[in-house]
Amino acid sequence: MSRRVVITGIGVVAPGGVGTPAYWQRLLSGRSATRTITAFDPSGFRSRMAAECDFDPTAYGLTPQEIRRMDRTAQFAVVCTAECVADAGLAGGEVPATRVGVTVGSAVGATIKLESEYVVLSDGGRRWEVDPGYAVPHLYDYLVPSSLAAEVAWKVGAEGPVSVVSDGCTAGIDALGYAAQVIRCGDADVMIAGGTEAPIAPITVACFDAIKATSVHNDDPEHAHRPYDVSRNGFVLGEGAAMLVLEEYEHARRRGARVYAEIAGVATRANAFHMTGLQAEGREMAEAIRVALDQARIGADRVDWVSMHGTGTKQNDRHETSAIKRSLGPHAYRTPASSIKSMIGHSLGAVGALETAACALAITHGAVPPTANLHRQDPELDLDYVPLQAREHRVDVALNVGSGFGGFQSAMVLCRPEAVSR
């Protein structure tokens, strides 16, 4: 395919940092933004921590009506959108609306509003036949997450292909992959794409409690998410968003746009094994990596950094370590492979986009973020996970991997466009 896709704008709302500069600083600091949940009273839950965003929508220019209408998930996406569009120098509406599209990744949509409105309509759960007389005007938008993409599209005036990709916890990567494909096949020149999630609500916390996927280091919330550490016991739920401007390469060059990185290959495979379980071999993730590298026409030995999935569950960390070794071969041992989830928690359908932003920033700035809270590496896990401290390191090619409930295994290859001959 001749059309290439590059990232020309980044917008981020993350725990510990709103805005791209604050986000990147946070990632290099090695400090976790996880804490005891403040969004609601978490006593009575098994895992009582989260990586929360200190986010005041009024500070980012949302109108009172927008704040009332939008769930926090949509607010994150819209604020990120404004940042990435300005960052790309496209805030003036230079591109025809019909050539601009939107793809938003989200795993669980407008959970907070959905739950809080349910509680009202059901009178605290007492009524199965909930009372529609108490329904708020936008209740339907909280049930159906395509509303997230609509909000973003209205904000930027996009009239090209607009959609939500909801591939569970790989939605962030997959939404960007979907958007890149829309540009490649010529259906748009610019896509506003990424992932957003605001899942910190009782129902989400209870869900992960029930399957014991979340960490119970409740006495040490700031160091609870410990990928690859012997004492790891699951992830800390997070929230946030990253929206990127994806642009056709020649289109970006013609207007002299700054290019962070090229999205050179993306692939998703299903493990067809279990809705939540993983097999230790990591075969399907390895296949996704192989296909993404193949699309990019980049050899496995050229990968300079792997942004890992790093959920810090026993099975995930084994699974992805196997997948990286299976796909990169001996080069796996020479490649720094860290997980920023150790700092920003696991924001489900958003985190793949946040990690993609981190890859683009690593390529731009020549540094890789560390895996925080990794003091005693599990002897079974033998890659270079970049413990505790960020590293100066030239990154021409970054690999971003993700894994999600439903069996989704995704991989994205990003590169410095001029570093790769086509």
309 is catalytic: yes
**239, 71 contact by CB (below 8 A):** no
SS3 category, 194: strand
Residue 206 as a binder of another protein (CB under 8 A): the answer is yes
Residue 280 as a binder of another protein (CB under 8 A): the answer is no
Residue of 217, 225, 309, 319 marked catalytic:
309
**Which one of residues 141, 262, 304, 317 is an interface residue with another protein (CB under 8 A)?**
141
Footprint of another protein on 295-334 (CB under 8 A): none
274 is catalytic: no
Give the CA radius of gyration of the chain: 20
Footprint of another protein on 33-52 (CB under 8 A): 44-46
Residue 213 as a binder of another protein (CB under 8 A): the answer is yes
**Which one of residues 2, 58, 128, 418 is an interface residue with another protein (CB under 8 A)?**
128
Q: CB under 8 Å to 222, separation ≥6 — which residues? A: 32, 34, 35
- Interface segment toward another protein; rule CB under 8 A; list 56-64, 181-189, 238-246, 253-261: 181-189
Which two tokens mark 234? Answer: 């699951």
Which two tokens mark 27? Answer: 């990632």
**Beta carbon nearer to another protein, 141 or 317:** 141
On the CB side of 324, CA atoms within 13 Å amount to: 33
**Beta carbon nearer to another protein, 27 or 175:** 175
Question: Distance of alpha carbon 368 from its chain centroid, rounded?
Answer: 17
Residue of 53, 80, 84, 169 marked catalytic:
169
End-to-end CA separation in angstroms for the chain? 11
- Interface segment toward another protein; rule CB under 8 A; list 53-61, 97-105, 254-262, 324-332: 97-105
195/326 Cα distance (integer angstroms): 28
79/75 Cα distance (integer angstroms): 6
Site string for another protein, 184-203 (x = CB under 8 A): -x-x--------------xx
**Which one of residues 254, 275, 330, 379 is an interface residue with another protein (CB under 8 A)?**
275
- Smallest distance, Å, CB 374 to another protein? 23
207 is catalytic: no
**Beta carbon nearer to another protein, 253 or 314:** 314
Which two tokens mark 228? Answer: 């690859």
Residue 271 as a binder of another protein (CB under 8 A): the answer is yes
On the CB side of 119, CA atoms within 13 Å amount to: 8
**Beta carbon nearer to another protein, 59 or 185:** 185
**Which one of residues 164, 300, 308, 360 is an interface residue with another protein (CB under 8 A)?**
164
- Interface segment toward another protein; rule CB under 8 A; list 11-19, 251-259, 261-269, 350-358: 261-269
- Cβ-in-10-Å burial (0-12, 13-18, 19+) of 10 comes to buried
Position of tokens 């989400």? 204
82/66 Cα distance (integer angstroms): 14
**Which one of residues 267, 292, 395, 399 is an interface residue with another protein (CB under 8 A)?**
267
- Smallest distance, Å, CB 37 to another protein? 12
On the CB side of 378, CA atoms within 13 Å amount to: 18
Position of tokens 């860290």? 338
Residue 93 as a binder of another protein (CB under 8 A): the answer is no
Q: Which residues are catalytic?
A: 169, 309, 346
